[in-house]
Structure 1
Amino acid sequence: MKRSAVRPRKGPPLYFSFVFLFYLAFPLTELFSRPVGELVIGLLVLAVFTALYLYSSKVNRGRLISVFLQLIIIGLFCYRYNAGFIYMAFYPSPIIGLISSRKQMYVGMGAMVALFIAVGLYYQLYLSANDMIQIVPAMLVMLFLPFALRLGQKSFELREKLNLANEEIARLSKNEERQRISRDLHDTLGHTLSLITLKSELAERLIVKNPERAAQEVKDIHATSRAALKQVRELVSGMNAVTVRDELVNAKQILAAADIVLEVRGELAESMASPLADNILGMCLREAVTNIVKHSKARTCTVEWRGEPDLLHLKVSDDGRGIDPAAGVTDGNGLNGMKERLKLVEGDLSFAPFKGSGTSVTFTVPRVTKSME
């Protein structure tokens, strides 16, 4: 199904947000040094602060209001206890960067700056060099975090849009190639096959009445079928046929981008396979490498080429996580598509999934194909 738009991320994973709750140990230490009544109230307020933080880290709706409430709680803690509670602003700071509206983000930034100024003036931090050295760098980091997070989010969305664009281009290219092949088949073979049909009907009628004329028509049919065969060959040769050698070059680049090492074993001698078999093996190799990149999580991909007097074997294996045969995924569309291609040259496919120890697929084609003439 075509995806028409990129939905921005709602925030970091929830477990990531929980990790940062560890730093609440510092305000908790301060609260536990207070009387019981004040401790209970402080813990309730801190629980509200934590709930607001977790909610706003995952839900876009009401983020600005949540940021305001978190900043108010931080201000109250700073006013009631000490200026060290200003470090709690590290929690709403990244939330500000997740706000979808740029205007609201700047409003949240302004509120956080106002909190910093108010705390600084209340405790006269500007009069102490030590306080300035400790708190000002942290404040600058908290002010920088929203911009950094927003920049990362924009970069992620751009990559998603680029991937969608590439997928759409690939889809349109495939459709155009199908339409081109359909037009070529219709234009090159439609007239010829119609002519063969007409001459066959005519020869059938002339067998009894005029055997010599019927024999001539049969000869014409034979010549016309040879011409049709030649047209098919020209059509196939005119396609953008892939070869095993070409696909090995492409596979090396694709695997390198996925941090997978390619190892090639055996000699890819010229003319070991017919052009059609070479084309089919190239497409099968492309499909196998694509599956390795997408699903295997492998570190090494091995392509082994082995020839026998009557057969050629192309084996593609990896050292990834493998596939559990009990999962019933060994007959997917990818494998079925490769099997159908190989049937065109009387080839075969063997698949060996090993859970936890990689996957191996071997393509086998005859060295000598049957003549079509």
Structure 2
Amino acid sequence: MLKKIYPTDQIEKYLLIDLIAVIFLIYRVVISEWAIHFTVKLLFIALFVACYYIGLWHRDWRLLISSLGGCLLIVALSMYVDSWILLYGFVFANLLGRAYQKWIISVGMAGIIVMFMVFCWINEGSPIGMFTPKYFPILIGQLVTPIVIYTRAKANLLKEKLDVANAQLERYIQEEERNRIARDLHDTLGQTLTMIKLKSELTLRLLEKNPDKAKHELNDIVNTSRFALKQVRELVTDMKFVSLENEIELSSEIFQQAGIELIVNNNDSKLLLTNVAETMLALSVREAITNIIKHSEAKQCTITQYEQDEHYHIQVSDDGNGNLMEGHGYGIQSIRERLAMLQGEIHIAAHPNHGTAITLKVPLMRNRKVK
């Protein structure tokens, strides 16, 4: 029942505050010495609550109309009850910050300024009275409130969209991996199992007619079964291996979906790394790219690969905010641990508003494949 009376997403944050504010307003207006009939006082209170209630449920032009109406009521109540009722302007300033369009916020803020001007004109004799220390800080606070609320709401919305995009990317990666495994099973193990099936059927037909031939086919089935087992082991090994080249290609697709341009600089040299070393580097690059997508707000990312002083280097840099929070999460720590296994190093250079560069360095001599 309460959810139909009061917005669900506001109950936890604002319901108690709103109840206290409305009850206190009712009490102050009712006991005030305002020389009007009690019914008129209740009418003012009802109009104020109605304006607030409309603004609470809507984010379009109705919010603007209700806020402007509320400002007029605040002027009247402030003049005849007490000037502190101007503080109730924060109620409508908060509601304005939740509007869908910026022009509604702008017009609403202008309404707050007019509210102070009219009150000071009537009560103080001059509209510039709103610049006095008594009123000016309250005015500034009510003008800043909708901007803060709107900015925070936009940031939360962007974060939600980013979380959804990350979840979609993870599902995409998982789906691609499942498709790859399915193709490998079909192209390798499927063919071998089909051969075993055909030879088994042939053996059943030869058991009575030609036992020697059947025995020969059984030996072939045994050998083929061993070969199938070998294929399974190779597939499992391949599943554990992550190609650095494939990881960079996949990153290009992920960056494209995230709206980030990827530039890859490669010296085209054939790097002879073990499967373990290449997998560790690929996973480290994946972690660095994940951090860029989640935290950097970058428009461009550059991956540079080169050899220097018997070491292989790969640098992942971006032009984002440079807000690298190394102490939060396990991304950078995971990269350090992987490179430590390879006796490698990680170097991080983060510059606020000028991006971050992560350089991975692995010794080549200790990771060359034996021919």
Shorter-chain TM-score category? 0.5 to 0.7
Residues 326-356 of structure 1 show CA distances to partners (whole Å, capped at 9, x for unaligned) of xxxxxxxxxxxxxxxxxxxxxxxxxxxxxxx
Q: For 2:78 and 2:192, locate their aligned partners in 1 and report how far apart those are by CA, in whole Å.
A: 90
**CA–CA distance in structure 2, aligned partners of residues 151 and 198 of structure 1:** 68
Aligned residue in 2 for 1:187: 187
Structure 1 unmatched runs, 5+: 1-8, 247-373
2:10 paired residue among 9, 12, 17: 12
**1:165 to 1:234, Cα distance in 2 relative to 1, 3 A:** same
Match of 2:78 in 1: 78
Rounded to whole Å, the distance in 2 between the matches of 1:41 and 1:192 is: 91
Query: Map of 1:322-361 to 2, 5 A cutoff?
Result: none
Q: Which residue of 2 aligns with 1:205?
A: 205
Deviation sequence 1:29-52 (CA, Å, 0-9, x none):
254132685333122211221232
If the length of structure 1 is used for normalisation, what is the TM-score? 0.56
Confirm or deny: 8 A CA contact 1:11 1:57 kept in the other structure: no
Residue aligning to 1:225: 225
Partner amino acid for 1:42?
K
- What is the rounded CA distance, in whole Å, between the counterparts of 2:117 and 2:156 in structure 1? 34
Of all paired residues, the percent bearing the same amino acid is 31
- Counterpart residue number, 2:37: 38
Aligned to 2:178: 178
Deviations 1:62-117 (A, max 9, x none): 21111121112112223444533322212111111111111111111111111112
Q: How far apart, in 1, do the equivalents of 2:73 and 2:228 lie? A: 83
With the length of structure 2 as denominator, give the TM-score of the two structures: 0.57
8 Å CA contact retained: 2:120, 2:130: no
Deviation at 1:220, TM superposition (A): 0.6
How far off is 1:120 after superposition? 2.1
What are structure 2's unaligned runs of at least 5 residues?
1-6, 242-279, 281-371
Separation (CA, whole Å) in 1 of partners of 2:239 and 2:112: 63
Over aligned residue pairs, what C-alpha RMSD do you find?
A: 3.0
Q: Is 1:51 aligned with 2:50?
A: yes
Written as runs of structure 1 = structure 2, the 5 A alignment for 1:116-265 is: 116-124=116-124, 132-240=132-240
Structure 1 residue 231: Cα displacement: 0.8
Q: Which amino acid aligns with 1:142?
A: Q
- CA shift, 1:230, in A, is 1.2
* Secondary structure of the corresponding residue to residue 134 of structure 1: coil
Match of 1:331 in 2: none
Matched residues in 2 for 1:13 and 1:147: separation? Answer: 22
Q: Secondary structure at the match of 1:13?
A: helix
Secondary structure of the residue that 1:91 maps to in structure 2? helix
Which residue pairs with 2:315 in the alignment?
none
Distance 2:13 2:190 in 1: 63
8 Å CA contact retained: 2:118, 2:127? no
Segment of structure 1 superposing worse, 34-43 or 50-59: 34-43
Aligned residue pairs: how many?
235
Cα 1:22–1:208 shift into 2, 3 Å: closer
Instruction: Name the counterpart of 1:109.
Output: 109
> CA 1:86/1:125 → structure 2, altered by over 3 Å: closer, same or farther?
farther
Query: Which stretch has the larger CA shift, 120-129 or 17-26?
Result: 120-129
Give the superposition deviation at 1:172: 1.1
Q: Counterpart of 1:98 in 2: which secondary structure?
A: coil
Distance 1:235 1:192, change over 3 A: same
Q: Which amino acid aligns with 2:42?
A: L
Aligned-partner Cα distance in 1 for 2:146–2:9: 12
Specify whether residues 36 and 114 from structure 1 end up closer, same or farther in structure 2 by C-alpha distance, changes over 3 A only. closer
* Matches of 1:88 and 1:68, distance apart in 2: 13
> Does the CA contact (< 8 Å) of 1:11 and 1:58 recur in 2?
no
The separation in 2 between residues aligned to 1:19 and 1:212, in whole angstroms, is 92
Structure 1 residues 142 and 218, CA gap change in structure 2 (3 angstroms): same
Q: What amino acid is aligned across from residue 48 of structure 1 in structure 2? A: L
Q: Do 1:57 and 1:95's aligned partners in 2 also have CA atoms closer than 8 Å?
A: yes
Quote the Cα distance in structure 2 between the aligned partners of 1:43 and 1:16: 24
Structure 2 residue 88 is the aligned partner of structure 1 residue 94: no
Q: Give the CA deviation at 1:168.
A: 0.6
Q: What letter is aligned with 2:223?
A: A
Determine the C-alpha separation between the residues in 2 that align with 1:226 and 1:101. 69
Is the CA contact (8 Å cut-off) linking 1:53 and 1:92 kept in structure 2? yes
Q: CA deviation at 1:166?
A: 1.2
